[in-house]
A and B are shown apart, each in its own frame.
Chain A
Amino acid sequence: MGSFPEIRTNLGDYVKQFVDFLDTTLEGLFEFIFFISSRTINFIDDVLVTLPWWSFILLIFLLGWYFKSIFAGILYGFFVFLIGSFGLWEDMMTTIAIILAAVIICLIIGIPVGIWMAFNKGFSNVMRPLLDAMQTMPSFVYLIPAIFFFGLGNVSAIFATLIYALPPVIRLTELAIRGVDKEVIESAQSFGSSRGQMLRKVQLPQAMPTIMAGVNQTTMMALAMVVIASMVGAKGLGEQVLVSINRIDIALGFEAGISIVFLAIIIDRITNGIAAKFQRGIN
């Protein structure tokens, strides 16, 4: 017959055992991560919520104006105002806090890893398939160990978001450092720069525009995880979308959905604008 023989590879079980093993042996580490992440989110959230509503709109307007144009500033300010008028102001702040925290952690991990990959071919060869897997694995799968390690809530959301959003900034950092003009590197060498001086004074600044493109992508991917992350208890706009699905509430679903779109536009354009400023060599 054509049926598959009685062979069962229990890969999933091994992974489960591995995760169990991690959970017991690295408990301290996870608690530490939990502590740091939850503190970061709460801090950002608190700051954002205590801001007077108009000052936040003003801030968005100014960012849009500085990095794009005055028209963009007005538009972005209006977007934020609209989200508030949907009654989703605090949800928006929570979402922004989660994204900001995730992105900050992504950069803290991703940029050094990318730099290391650029300098070490072997490390790069190991990391590359791992990054591919991180990006192609369905993002729901990350939710399971996330709950396992951190329970339901914002920290799990950040953990899952991190895994999903980390690859672009790592990849583009590596690419950027490797891509610095050979003659520029040679000229820095020819003046007797040490490795640290070279990295700090030449390679990183030269790579900045490309790294910023990575930051932009990472941010957008973090935003894309907002709804999925709400399945492990993340609050914010994603939670509202989830609620509206459960209740088949078209009105709420649309309002929360379009709010995410507005946020995406604003964040994308502003980070793009920052990248463009770097591109022009102004820093």
Chain B
Amino acid sequence: METKIKIDRVSKIFGSKPKSVIPLVKDGKNKEEILAETGHTVGVYDASFDIKKGEVFVIMGLSGSGKSTLIRCFNLLNKPTDGSIVIDGIDITKSNKQELKKIRQEKIAMVFQHFGLFSHRTILANVEYGLEIRGVSKEERRAIAMKNIEIVGLKGYEEKYPDELSGGMQQRVGLARALANDPDILLMDEPFSALDPLIRREMQLELLDIQERLQKTIIFITHDVNEAFKLGDRVAVMKDGHVVQVGTPEEIIEEPANEYISEFIKDIDRSKVFQADHVMIKPNALVSLKDGLNVAIKEMEDNGISSVYVVDRGRHVQGIVTIDDAIQAKKDKKKLTDILRSDYAVVQRDEYIHELIPKALESKYPLAVENEEGKLVGFILRVHVLSGLVSEDIVESEQYYS
């Protein structure tokens, strides 16, 4: 995927002479030293990373970690003290007033933690605001606003005022207002933190749903690990102004860059981050349709297992045979195809562990994992599902396989 935003060595210093502190940052002095020496606060410390087009990029950190400061750099609500922010090949930190206005009007929109709605305007007028600023005609902006109000599910509330709506609905207005501008990039500063858990979950799903349809580049701030890993294609973890690690949720969980991150992700619900892919084992024992009963029995004996999957040439699962059936069939002179059982369970490789748990419990056999083309790519035993839930490395041993 192409790079949409590239930030390079961005620092944001607060104080009377922020520029004077930059050499200290470059020398690698830490936040406390700089505060003690110069009285300046470091908001963001030398941050560099890329954001790809169409991805949900989550910046996660506790309060005071600099995440809100950083997100405000992307639309220059905070002008970085140093470094560059390149969007679509243009360094926005060098833009003049007019260019900045244009970028804000057309390219980037923002959603705020406490919604930032205009309490003196109706919902419709709130959503119209960005278009009004751009000078879009009254009829056109009304039509666009109505469409976006409908997207976020608030049809019928156009003439209400923000204080007549619940928190969740107000944030929908905030989202509709941002979407109405049809920006490439959506900045979301802890948009769901002020909502209660049930509404939050609902909004998260809805955001994913909207993202599926609209494919924006989203930068999303949160202090909630579960939210970060649920929404983020990639996650950046911040601490004391530093970006400590950038990676996919799986990468971060599997290889936390340091103690801090391990501590942070301790409480993560792993069953919602890891997919079948991560816990399955490669199919070491497989029987092809054209193989006979003898091959099947040998496969099982060699591997010390009591059942084996049977696949066709394209590796599509045709059924499963058990050792007991196979031996009985051999006595009865039956063929392999006669004793194929079909009461196995197939799962997709991108299914989350929490979805696998009930299937693994019900199935007598290992779960068969398919890829997008329906090819068998692995097995999952109950024990794998369990081991996927704890943070230690999964022990791939055949002694479980019986």
User: For A183, what are the chain B residues with a Cβ–Cβ distance below 8 Å?
Assistant: 112-116
B335 proximity list for chain A (CB < 8 A):
none
Across the interface, name the chain B residue whose C-beta is closest to A205: B120
A125 at the A/B interface (Cβ < 8 Å)?
Answer: no
A189 to B120, CA, bound (A): 17
Known interface pairs A184-B119, A192-B130; 14 further A-B residue pairs with C-beta atoms within 8 A, sorted by A's residue number: A183-B112, A183-B114, A183-B116, A186-B77, A186-B110, A187-B110, A188-B118, A189-B104, A192-B100, A192-B101, A192-B102, A201-B132, A205-B118, A281-B161
- Contact (A187, B104) CB under 8 Å given A206-B119, A281-B120, A281-B161: no
User: Secondary structure at chain B's binding surface: helix, strand, loop or mixed?
Assistant: mixed
A202 touches B118 (CB 8 A): yes
Question: Does A249 belong to the interface (CB within 8 Å)?
Answer: no
Given A191-B129, A194-B101, A201-B132, are A283 and B77 also a contact pair (CB < 8 Å)? no
B119 in contact with A281 (CB, 8 Å): yes
> Within A145-189, which residues are at the interface with B (CB < 8 Å)?
181, 183-184, 186-189
A57 within 8 A of B: no
The reply to whether B133 and A193 contact each other, CB–CB distance below 8 Å, is yes
- Cβ contact within 8 Å between A201 and B129: yes
Residues of chain A within 8 A of B177, CB atoms compared: 187
Q: Which residue of B lies closest to A209 (CB)?
A: B120
* A interface residue count range (under 10 / 10 to 19 / 20 to 34 / 35 or more): 20 to 34
The yes or no answer to A208 lying at the interface (CB within 8 A) is: yes
Q: Is the CB of A189 within 8 A of B118?
A: no
- Known contacts being A183-B113, A197-B133, A281-B163, is A206 close to B120, with CB within 8 Å? yes
CB closest chain-B residue, reference A185: B116
- Chain B residues within an 8 Å CB radius of A201: 118, 129, 132-133
Whether A85 is near chain B, meaning CB under 8 Å from some CB there, is no
A208 vs B117: C-alpha distance when bound (angstroms): 16
- The listed residue with most B CB atoms (<10 A of its CB), out of A190, A192, A194, A197, is A190
Query: With contacts A197-B133, A281-B161 known, is A187 near B120, CB below 8 A?
Result: no
- In the complex, B81 has a CB within 8 A of chain A: no
Kindly state the separation between the CA atoms of A187 and B191 in the bound complex, as whole angstroms: 13
**B119 CB contacts on chain A under 8 angstroms:** 184, 206, 281
**What's the Cα separation between A208 and B121 when bound, in Å?**
13
Can you list 16 residue pairs at the A/B interface with Cβ under 8 Å? A183-B112, A183-B113, A183-B116, A184-B117, A184-B118, A188-B118, A190-B104, A191-B104, A191-B109, A191-B133, A192-B103, A192-B106, A201-B118, A201-B129, A205-B120, A281-B120
Instruction: Render B187-215 as a binary contact track against A, CB cut-off 8 A, 1 for contact.
Output: 10000000000000000000000000000
B75 within 8 A of A: yes
**Nearest-Cβ distance from residue B133 to partner chain A, whole angstroms:** 5
Chain A nearest CB: distance from B379 CB in Å? 50
Residues of B within 8 A of A181 (CB): 114, 116
A271 to B133, CA, bound (A): 32
Complex Cα–Cα for A51 and B163 (A): 41
Q: Is B245 interfacial (CB-CB < 8 Å)?
A: no
> Is B108 part of the binding interface, using a Cβ–Cβ cutoff of 8 Å?
yes
Report B-chain residues with C-beta under 8 Å of the C-beta of A188. Answer: 118, 129
- B132: chain A residues at CB < 8 Å are 201
Q: Which residues of A are at the interface with B, using a C-beta cutoff of 8 A?
A: 181, 183-184, 186-194, 197, 201-202, 205-206, 208, 281, 283
Q: Hey, which chain A residues are within 8 Å of B105, CB to CB?
A: 191-192
Q: How far is the CA of A197 from the CA of B101 in the complex (A)?
A: 12
Q: How far is the CA of A208 from the CA of B104 in the complex (A)?
A: 27
CA distance A197 to B129 in the complex (A): 11
User: What DSSP secondary structure best describes chain A's contact surface?
Assistant: helix
Interface positions of B from 300 to 352, Cβ below 8 Å from A: none
Residues of B bordering A, CB below 8 Å: 72, 75, 77, 100-106, 108-110, 112-121, 129-130, 132-134, 161, 163, 174, 177, 181, 187
In the complex, are the beta carbons of B133 and A192 less than 8 A apart?
A: yes
CA distance A244 to B109 in the complex (A): 67
Residues of B within 8 A of A187 (CB): 110, 112, 116-118, 174, 177
On whether the beta carbons of B104 and A184 are closer than 8 Å, the reply is no
CB of B195, distance to nearest CB on chain A (Å):
15
Shortest Cβ gap from B100 to chain A (Å): 8
Q: How far is the CA of A201 from the CA of B119 in the complex (A)?
A: 11
Contacts of B101 in A (CB 8 A): 192, 194
Across the A-B interface, the 4 shortest Cβ-Cβ residue pairs: A187-B116, A192-B104, A192-B105, A183-B116
Report the separation of the CA atoms of residues A281 and B108 in the bound assembly, to the nearest whole angstrom.
Answer: 29
Write the nearest CB–CB distance from B190 to chain A, whole angstroms.
11
Residues in A whose Cβ lies below 8 Å from that of B163: 281
Instruction: Tell me which of A186, A194, A197 has the highest count of chain B C-beta atoms within 10 A of its own C-beta.
Output: A186
Chain B residues contacting A202 (CB-CB under 8 Å) are 118
CB-contact partner of A206 in B115, B118, B129, under 8 A: B118
By a CB distance below 8 angstroms, the chain B residues around A193 are 133
A188 to B115, CA, bound (A): 12
Q: How far is the CB of B400 from chain A (nearest CB, A)?
A: 54
Given known pairs A186-B77, A281-B161, the reply for A191 and B116 (CB within 8 Å) is: no
Beta-carbon contact of B109 and A190 below 8 Å: yes
CB-defined contacts of A208 to chain B, threshold 8 Å: 120
* Candidates A190, A206, A281; contact of B75 at CB < 8 Å: A190
B101, B116, B132, B163 pick with most chain A CB within 10 angstroms:
B116
A159 to chain B, nearest CB (A): 35
Cα separation A193 to B97 with both chains bound (whole Å):
11
A184 vs B120: C-alpha distance in the bound complex, in angstroms? Answer: 11
Do residues A190 and B108 form an inter-chain contact, with CB atoms below 8 A?
yes
Measured CA separation A283–B118 after assembly (Å): 13
Contact B118 A190 (CB under 8 A): no
**Which residue among B75, B108, B133, B174 has the maximum number of chain A CB atoms within 10 Å of its CB?**
B133
How distant is the Cα of A193 from the Cα of B110 in the complex, in angstroms? 13
Most chain B CB inside 10 Å of its own CB: which residue of A187, A206, A281: A187
Q: Give the CA-CA distance A192 to B130 in the complex, in Å.
A: 8
Q: Given A206-B119, A208-B120, A191 and B113 touching (CB < 8 A)?
A: no
Instruction: Give complex CA distance A184, B117 in Å.
Output: 6
The distance from the CB of B129 to the nearest CB of chain A, in whole angstroms, is 6
- Nearest A residue to B72 via CB reads A186
